[in-house]
Chain A
Amino acid sequence: DAGITQSPRHKVTETGTPVTLRCHQTENHRYMYWYRQDPGHGLRLIHYSYGVKDTDKGEVSDGYSVSRSKTEDFLLTLESATSSQTSVYFCATVAGPISTDTQYFGPGTRLTVL
């Protein structure tokens, strides 16, 4: 457990509304990640960050944006939620190089877009 919390843990929203999910870590890890998990697709990377204000896109970044103004916080925003964004969202952090260091995951946020 790397002290990762996600908020909210559950959210129901309507199509077209903006939604922001928060990931907070207490371990001062450099790298942070947002994934979505869907049946049959495993985990897919949305965006990631390799430092404050340094972010990059993952494989499913369309419709999502991120911000990291502090080491401990990584925000994921759905600019205008759609039903296809109904999913479970996981935040993860890594202290050092992901090729060798362990990636720690938060408990997840279940988002439903009606």
Chain B
Amino acid sequence: AQSVTQLGSHVSVSEGALVLLRCNYSSSVPPYLFWYVQYPNQGLQLLLKYTSAATLVKGINGFEAEFKKSETSFHLTKPSAHMSDAAEYFCAVSDLGGNEKLTFGTGTRLTIIP
């Protein structure tokens, strides 16, 4: 079964600093990978997804992620953090067995320091 590991349940960065949220996957074949964001008291919404096209994927709100097969990673970055980026971020992997399911990581809560 596919799985993802998010390193760091809480990350704090200063406003204007680089945001780096880590995600590693386990899969014997290149998977489809996703980043979702959850703002307080809301459901999740898609930030970006990797579906075997370009390895550098650009998403909404200035976020991007790079698929690195050699490192089995799909880390999320943003060059300059904004206060509005404070949220919880989830990495997810698609089950390639045709079961139409996503497996989510445990999430990383991002805090922005003014």
Residues of A within 8 A of B (CB): 4, 31, 33, 35, 40-45, 48, 50, 56, 58, 90, 92, 94, 97-100, 102-108
Contact = CB atoms under 8 A, between A and B. Distances in A.
Interface range for B: 20 to 34
A48 B42 contact: no
Contacts, number: 59
Q: Which 5 A-B pairs have the closest CB atoms?
A: A105-B43, A42-B106, A99-B94, A43-B104, A99-B32
Contact of A99 (B36, B51, B90): B51
B102 A90 contact: no
Given A42-B105, A106-B43, 15 more contacts: A40-B106, A41-B106, A42-B90, A43-B104, A44-B104, A45-B103, A92-B44, A94-B100, A97-B100, A99-B32, A99-B51, A99-B94, A99-B96, A100-B51, A105-B43
Given A42-B106, A42-B107, A99-B51, A50 B100 contact: yes
Contacts of B55: none
Contacts of A100: 32, 49, 51
Given A90-B43, A108-B43, A103 B102 contact: yes
A90 B88 CA distance: 15
Interface of B: 9, 32, 34, 36, 41-46, 49, 51, 90, 94, 96, 99-107
Interface majority SS (helix, strand, loop, mixed), chain A: strand
Contact of B44 (A44, A97, A99, A105): A105
A84 to B, nearest CB: 18
A43 B100 contact: no
6 contacts: A43-B104, A45-B102, A98-B100, A99-B94, A103-B34, A104-B45
